[in-house]
Amino acid sequence: MAMNIVVVGSQWGDEGKGKLIDILSAHSDITVRYQGGNNAGHTVVVRDKEYVFHLLPSAILHKGKVCVVANGCVIDPQAILNEMEDLKRRAIKVDSICLKISGLAHVVMPYHRILDGLRESKRKNKIGTTGRGIGPCYADKVTRCGIRMIDLLNPRIFKSKLEDNLSEKNEIFKEVFDTQGFSLEKVYAEYLDYGRRLAPYICDTALYLNRAMDRGKSVLFEGAQGTFLDIDFGTYPFVTSSNTIVGGLCAGSGIAPTRINKTIACVKAYTTRVGEGPFPTEFSSSLKDEIRIKGKEFGATTGRPRRCGWFDSVLVRHSIIINGAHELAIMKLDVLSGLKEIKICRRYKYKGKTYKDFPMDFEVLSNAQPIYEELTGWQADISGIRRYAQLPSQARAYVERLEDLLKVGVRYISIGTRREDIIIR
C-alpha cells in the first residue's frame, strides 16, 4: 500500500525539514510543497555539495521523482526560474515531467515586495519580515484581487487584473508612502514573459495529485516554516501569512485529509527562531553564540543569525496535538555534544501561575519564565554514529526523555549535515 506522508515543522521553522524531506522523498513517487513562498529556505548537503531550496521541493535531486508546487504557495516567477536555472547549471534535470506548478497558486508581484518593506518600516513593533512580498501577496489573495499563475497565460485577463491592482497600489505608494509607483506596460511585459517561460510546468496540480493517488502513487507533503509561524496557531503577529500546520495541506493542495496516512513532526534537538517575537527558552548571549556557530544557525533565505535556546516541550507538545503527529524526527542532536548539562523546558511560570499548556495570551508568552528539567550532557563526538544503540547513554536518555514528555516516538535522529548522517530507529 502506498503511504502518503506529511512532514511538518513543530517549532518556529528551520528544524531541518529539508534534509528529512530529501531522505524520505527517495521512497516516495511525488513530493509536494503546499504553502509559503521564497521566504522559506531548505538546505540539503549531498556528497559535500550544498543545495538551498526556496520554492522547489528538495526531491528534485532524486532522479525519476515528481515535484509539485501546489496552489497554497505564492510564487515569485523570477525566483523560481532562478532556482530552476541554478539546478540545471549543476546538471540536475528540471523539466515539465518532474516539475508541476499549480495554475491556482498566486503570483508575487513587484509591488508586493515594495509594500512588504514599506509597511515594515512604518511599524512601531517590527515583525521581522523577509521582505519577499509574501504577506502582501497572501493579503491580495484573501481580498480577492490577486493574480494567479494561470492568469499569466491569458494576456487579456492578466492585463485587466494588473490594471486594477496598479490603479490601487500606485495610489497607495503615492499618498501613503510618498514613493514612486509601477509602470503598467513594464510589469505587464516582464510577467507575460515569465508566464511564457513557465507555461510548460503550469497545470491543475490538485487533479494530478488525486489521479496519481488513485493509481497507487505515494505522495510526500512538505510545509514551509513551522507550526508556531502559522497564521492562526503561531505566536501572532510574529508569524508567516499562511497555514503551516498539517491542516494547511488540504486547502493548499486539494487533497482530502482522509488520504493522509502519516504525519511526522520535525524538531531540532534545541530551539531556534529568526526575527522578532517571544522566545521563552532563549539562551544567554555566550551559549547562544556557541550553539549558533556550531549548528551553523544562519537563515538559508536571509542569512540572518538565528536566535537559539533550550528545547521547549510545552511548545512542541502543543504542535504535536495540533498536527496529530505519529512520529518525531529530531534534527542536529550532534550540536549538543560537549555540553555538561542540557535543559528541557517542561512548564512556564508567570505572575505566580504555572502553565503546562501553551498560553494564548501574548503577554504571558512574552514574559513567561521557563521551568527546566536538567539532564547530564555527553562529551563524545556522535557525528559518525549510525545506530541508536551506539549513542552515548546520556544522548539516548535525552531522546527518550523527549519521547516521555511529548508522548510520541522518535523515528529519525539527525547527527550531521549530510544526507547519510541519520539514525533510523
**Do 69 and 102 meet the contact criterion of CB atoms below 8 Å apart?**
yes
In Å, what is the CA distance from 304 to each residue of 38, 213, 365? 15, 39, 24
Closest C-alpha to 31, from 57, 53, 8, 7: 57
Residue with cell 492562526: 232
Kindly tell me the sign of the dihedral angle through the C-alpha atoms of 211, 212, 213, 214.
positive
Burial class (CB in 10 A: 0-12, 13-18, 19+), 297: buried
| Most distant pair of Cα atoms in the chain: their distance | 66
The three three-digit cell numbers of residue 21, written as one number:
524531506
194 DSSP 8-state letter: H
Q: Which helix (H) or strand (E) holds 155?
A: helix 155-175
Work out the angle at residue 53's Cα, subtended by the Cα atoms of residues 417 and 287, and round it to the nearest 5 degrees.
45
Residue 419 cell numbers, joined: 544526507
> So which residues are the catalytic ones?
14, 42
H-assigned helices in 239-323:
248-253, 285-294, 313-323
First to last CA, the chain: 21
**Length reported for the chain:** 425
- Is there a contact between 279 and 309 (Cβ–Cβ < 8 Å)? yes
Distance CA 421, CA 424 (A): 10
Integer Cα distance of 365 and 353 in angstroms: 12
CA distances from 375 to 196, 239, 309, 410 (A): 58, 31, 15, 18
Say if residues 44 and 235 touch (Cβ distance below 8 Å): no
Beta strands in 114-240 (DSSP E): 202-203, 219-222
Name 184's Cβ contacts closer than 8 Å, sequence gap at least 6. 162, 163, 166
- As a whole number of angstroms, the distance between CA 225 and CA 350 comes to 28
The DSSP bridge pattern shows strands 271-273 and 307-309 to be antiparallel
